[in-house]
């Protein structure tokens, strides 16, 4: 155990792959992705060069929020297999040299969890009575997913709090019994051999005493200060950290609306309870707060967010790096270009994979899967997409409202993975549980395996270059030409060796003037997404007249620094 403990820092040199199992691969032919499919694809995952897997919730769930409404924390959803199959997957992943982390969702359970069913009954000697947050009168908080944050329960004769969907009642973390339950869940999975947790909306679990009203006229946002980074958050997380310490388990917190300063409290000093936090700032370069409030993409906003986190965490804490996950639409459709699919997909990979921190790759991102555009809201299944559509912009035309869903829906990240060009994209022998993106004939793993310049093989290149490379792992970050609206350029430096990462986000050719002092230096090309134009391995003299960048051109060059 102590050996494992000492090695917790493995996450700093790791690349993670995220699996949303329902859409990953169907192994038993019922149209739903499962752990049999995962088992068969572990060699593929390994072939990317990744070191760890994060599984979205695999537990029994009525799927009101696709797994984030858990009805049993210590079992596997029958759609995905059973505990034995999970152990097989875990062991095989370990044999292949990959760690496995689970999703821990403890802000809320499903309303079908035994605890909630019992809690509804009330009664003074009921041990589950105070497992949830019950009140005679609701306050004015909104939920994120379904109207007001309070729902009346006729059996108990009281209202319960749900910050997310109605079927996701919030646990009462102030109750020590609930915290004991959480610790038991941690121990259950850790003693099985799991290597850590991604902890869902972890900054929401402690609510302000008395649950005061929020500022009424601002939906959701107006009440957030009453439950984000709440009064006891760091005490409670210290209790959970202690359990994780016993096993050397890695903890990654998901914190909606986390700022750098609040994140640092979780990541450093006396209150350190997490090894990394998922931040959201860089997810709003094309929207306000959330993708549904869409605005045109601006590279400057992306650069602001990335640089802010790079600079402010430097020397104090470790970043997590991602462009996609199960909650966000596909990145090429957002920050890149479906027209320049390969070019922008590889440029986006270059832009984030070499930042300081641990990169996460979401299933399908490595082949550049794009957003799906379904023709009616009834075809969507995500609770938040449906809610947004039915609640906001009701005066707009159906087309306009549907367009908002096309650019924002979480369902775009949840279409079946496109393995090949056969029926159902090779995801399943039968009709899949959800729509396959019609572009699967062109965009699929099989095609890209055989194409040296594919997005898939480019991700492999990125991971290879990053691996065991102290400059790219630990070197200092510095951004250049911040004001440039089309090019993101940064340096990773250690000692006298620097890597420069240059990515164009322009859909046409541009001339990029290198910063002062760069001209006439020799540089080695380490990676390029136009490998015929700039051959990796070649040494070039940097031009005085600027670099002619092709659409979405990205390159990594290595230079010796003299000062
Ligand atoms: O996400 C938290 C979160 O901030 C999102 O719900 C966000 O508000 C939403 O994606 C906007 O569309 C976590 C999980 O990652 C998400 O899948 C769950 O739905 C949510 O918590 C509730 O458990
Ligand atoms: Ca299945």
Q: pLDDT tens string for the chain (563 positions)?
A: 444 444 789 999 999 999 999 999 999 999 999 999 999 999 999 999 999 999 999 999 999 999 999 999 999 999 999 999 999 999 999 999 999 999 999 999 999 999 999 999 999 999 999 999 999 999 999 999 999 999 999 999 999 999 999 999 999 999 999 999 999 999 999 999 999 999 999 999 999 999 999 997 777 889 999 999 999 999 999 999 999 999 999 999 999 999 999 999 999 999 999 999 999 999 999 999 999 999 999 999 999 999 999 999 999 999 999 999 999 999 999 999 999 999 999 999 999 999 999 999 999 999 999 999 999 999 999 999 999 999 999 999 999 999 999 999 999 999 999 999 999 999 999 999 999 999 999 999 999 999 999 999 999 999 999 999 999 999 999 999 999 999 999 999 999 999 999 999 999 999 999 999 999 999 999 999 999 999 999 999 999 999 999 999 999 999 998 87
Which of 65, 103, 229, 254 is flagged as catalytic?
Answer: 254
**pLDDT for residue 6:** 45
Question: How many angstroms is it from 558 CA to the middle of ligand 1?
Answer: 39
**pLDDT for residue 3:** 44
Query: Is residue 476 classed exposed, middle or buried when 0-12, 13-18 and 19+ CB atoms within 10 A define those classes?
Result: middle
Q: Report the C-alpha gap between 515 and 511 in whole angstroms.
A: 13
**pLDDT for residue 271:** 98
- Ligand 1 site: residues with CB under 6 angstroms? 65, 68, 105, 144, 164, 200-201, 254, 256, 290, 326-327, 384, 410
Ligand nearest to the CA of 293: 1
**pLDDT for residue 33:** 99
Q: Beta strands 547-549 and 510-512: pairing type? A: antiparallel
**pLDDT for residue 220:** 83
Question: How many angstroms is it from 23 CA to the middle of ligand 2?
Answer: 10
Is 200 catalytic? The answer is: yes
Query: Is residue 4 classed exposed, middle or buried when 0-12, 13-18 and 19+ CB atoms within 10 A define those classes?
Result: middle
pTM: 0.97
Is 396 catalytic? The answer is: no
**pLDDT for residue 172:** 98
Q: Beta strands 276-278 and 250-254: pairing type? A: parallel
Residues 6+ apart with CB under 8 A from 497: 471, 475, 558, 559, 560, 561
Question: How many angstroms is it from 327 CA to the middle of ligand 1?
Answer: 6
Atom of ligand 1 at shortest distance to CA of 385? 12
**pLDDT for residue 255:** 92
For residue 140, the tally of other CB atoms under 10 A from its CB is 15
Residues 6+ apart with CB under 8 A from 256: 201, 203, 204, 228, 280
Which residue from 18, 66, 68, 284 has its CB within 8 A of the most atoms of ligand 1, so it is best to mutate?
68
Atom of ligand 1 at shortest distance to CA of 325? 15
Backbone φ and ψ of 317, nearest 5°: -155, 170
Residues 6+ apart with CB under 8 A from 125: none
Atom of ligand 1 at shortest distance to CA of 256? 4
**pLDDT for residue 362:** 99
- pLDDT tens-digit readout, 486-510: 999 999 999 999 999 999 999 999 9
Strand order in the sheet with 320-321: 276-278, 250-254, 196-199, 99-104, 52-55, 16-19, 358-362, 320-321
């Amino acid at each position: 155990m102590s050996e494992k403990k000492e090695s917790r820092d493995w996450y700093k040199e790791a690349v993670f792959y995220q699996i949303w199992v329902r859409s990953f691969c169907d192994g038993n032919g019922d149209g739903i992705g499962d752990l049999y499919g995962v088992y068969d694809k572990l060699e593929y995952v390994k072939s990317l060069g990744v070191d760890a897997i994060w599984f979205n919730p695999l537990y029994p769930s009525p799927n009101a929020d696709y797994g984030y409404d858990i009805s049993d924390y210590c079992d596997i959803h029958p759609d995905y297999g059973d505990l034995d199959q999970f152990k097989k997957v875990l062991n095989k992943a370990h044999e292949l040299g990959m760690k496995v982390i689970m999703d821990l969702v403890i802000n809320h359970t499903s309303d079908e969890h035994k605890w909630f069913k019992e809690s509804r009954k009330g009664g003074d000697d009921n041990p589950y009575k105070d497992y949830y947050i019950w009140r005679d009168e609701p306050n004015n908080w909104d939920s994120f997913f379904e109207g007001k944050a309070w729902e009346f329960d006729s059996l108990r004769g009281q209202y319960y709090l749900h910050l997310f969907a109605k079927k996701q009642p919030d646990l009462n973390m102030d109750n020590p019994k609930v915290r004991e339950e959480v610790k038991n869940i941690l121990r259950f999975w850790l003693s099985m051999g799991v290597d850590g947790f991604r902890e869902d909306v972890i900054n929401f679990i402690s609510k302000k005493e008395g649950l005061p009203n929020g500022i009424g006229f601002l939906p959701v946002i107006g009440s957030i200060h009453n439950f984000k980074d709440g009064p006891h958050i760091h005490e409670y997380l210290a209790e959970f950290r202690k359990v994780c310490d016993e096993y050397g388990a890695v903890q990654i917190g998901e914190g909606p609306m986390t700022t750098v300063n609040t994140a640092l409290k979780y990541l450093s000093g006396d209150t350190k309870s997490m090894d990394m936090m998922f931040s959201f700032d860089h997810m709003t370069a094309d929207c306000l707060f959330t993708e549904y409030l869409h605005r045109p993409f601006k590279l400057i906003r992306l650069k602001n967010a990335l640089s802010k986190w790079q600079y402010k965490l430097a020397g104090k804490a470790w970043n997590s790096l991602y462009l996609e996950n199960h909650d966000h639409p596909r990145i090429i459709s957002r920050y890149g270009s479906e027209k320049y699919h390969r070019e922008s997909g590889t440029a986006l990979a270059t832009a984030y994979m070499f930042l300081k921190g641990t990169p996460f790759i979401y299933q399908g991102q490595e082949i550049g899967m794009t957003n799906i555009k379904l023709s009616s809201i009834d075809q969507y299944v995500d609770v938040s997409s449906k809610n947004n559509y039915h609640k906001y912009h009701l005066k707009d035309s159906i087309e306009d409202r549907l367009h908002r869903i096309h650019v924002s829906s979480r369902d775009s990240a949840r279409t079946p993975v496109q393995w090949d060009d056969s029926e159902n994209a090779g995801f399943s022998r039968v009709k899949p549980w959800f729509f396959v993106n019609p572009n699967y004939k062109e965009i699929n793993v099989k095609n890209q395996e055989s194409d040296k310049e594919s997005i898939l093989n480019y991700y492999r290149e990125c991971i290879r270059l990053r691996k065991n490379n102290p400059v790219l792992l630990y070197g200092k970050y510095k951004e250049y030409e911040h004001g440039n609206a089309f090019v993101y350029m940064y340096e990773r430096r250690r000692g006298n060796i620097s890597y420069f990462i240059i990515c164009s986000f322009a859909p046409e050719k541009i001339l990029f003037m290198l910063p002062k002092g760069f001209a006439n230096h020799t540089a080695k090309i380490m990676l390029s997404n136009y490998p015929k134009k700039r051959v990796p391995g070649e040494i070039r003299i940097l031009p005085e007249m600027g670099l002619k960048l092709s659409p979405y051109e990205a390159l990594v060059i290595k230079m010796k620094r003299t000062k």
